[in-house]
Amino acid sequence: MKINLHTYDLPSDVTFTNSVAIDTEAMGLKNHRDRLCVVQLSAGDGECHLVHFPEPHFDQSPNLKRVLADKNLVKIFHYARFDVAILKHTFQIPLENIYCTKIASRLVRTYTNRHGLKDLCKELLGVELSKQEQTSDWGSEVLTQEQLKYAATDVLHLHKLKAKLDAMLEREKRQSLAQACFNFLPHRTDMDLTAGENFDIFSYQTDDKS
């Protein structure tokens, strides 16, 4: 595993072809309250690029924004709903062509309710992940080696997970359903940012008299 740490932006010579695995670390789980601190990216080649934001200077990231806005790149996330929302909210750019390993898992691993990244890596790849640094202070001016390793491992395995889950989606004939969910994610995150994560436009409101 090779970890490249950058501040505020990717170097201009860092590029991705076809697909990129992406994850984020923030001060918390509320997109309107908690600022973005780290963006992790990997081509699935054992190398990770970490873009660290020790201060909220989000106007200094043209190369990162270019990658995020590239419609030709498949962007692989685990629980894309959170990551896409905070990236859109932070950088004010659209994200399209999304793949979410958690959605794929919930569609095909119906024999379990354990769909966390740690669970997927253990079952499908035989890889044990540590989540010890998950709730650490990502807004720190200097990240620890433990934080860097934790952040990197969150993206290094997503390409392999996608390959495993794609095979299961094909076997269970649920590829089109998965793609429909992926296509809806930008709209779902728009609603999260507009009305909050608890807003469900499809729910039946018992107090609705119409």
Residues contacting 83, CB < 8 A, separation 6+: 22, 23, 24, 77
Q: pTM of whole model > 0.85?
A: yes
Handedness of CA 28, 30, 35, 40 (dihedral sign): positive
pLDDT tier at 133, thresholds 50, 70, 90: low
The residue among 32 and 83 whose pLDDT is bigger is 83
58 touches 76 (CB < 8 A): no
Residue whose token pair is 């962007």: 75
Lowest average pLDDT, out of 26-35, 39-48, 167-176, goes to 26-35
The residue among 198 and 180 whose pLDDT is bigger is 180
Percent of the chain with pLDDT over 90: 85
Mean pLDDT of 132-160: 90
pLDDT tens sequence across 48-89: 999 999 999 999 999 999 999 999 999 999 999 999 999 999
Domain ranges of the chain: 2-194
The predicted pLDDT at position 44 comes to 96
pLDDT tens sequence across 99-116: 999 999 999 999 999 999
Asked if pLDDT for residue 191 goes beyond 70, the answer is yes
**Integer Cα distance of 135 and 121 in angstroms:** 20
- Angle, vertex CA 169, rays to CA 167 and CA 172, nearest 5: 110
The architecture (CATH level 2) of 2-194 comes to: 2-Layer Sandwich (3.30)
H or E stretch at 105? helix 101-108
Percent of the chain with pLDDT over 70: 95
DSSP 8-state assignment for residue 205: P
**Integer Cα distance of 4 and 51 in angstroms:** 9
**Integer Cα distance of 23 and 39 in angstroms:** 6
pLDDT tier at 210, thresholds 50, 70, 90: very low
DSSP-assigned letters across all residues of 25-71: EESSS-TTTSPEEEEEEE-SSSEEEEEE-SS--TTS-HHHHHHHH-T
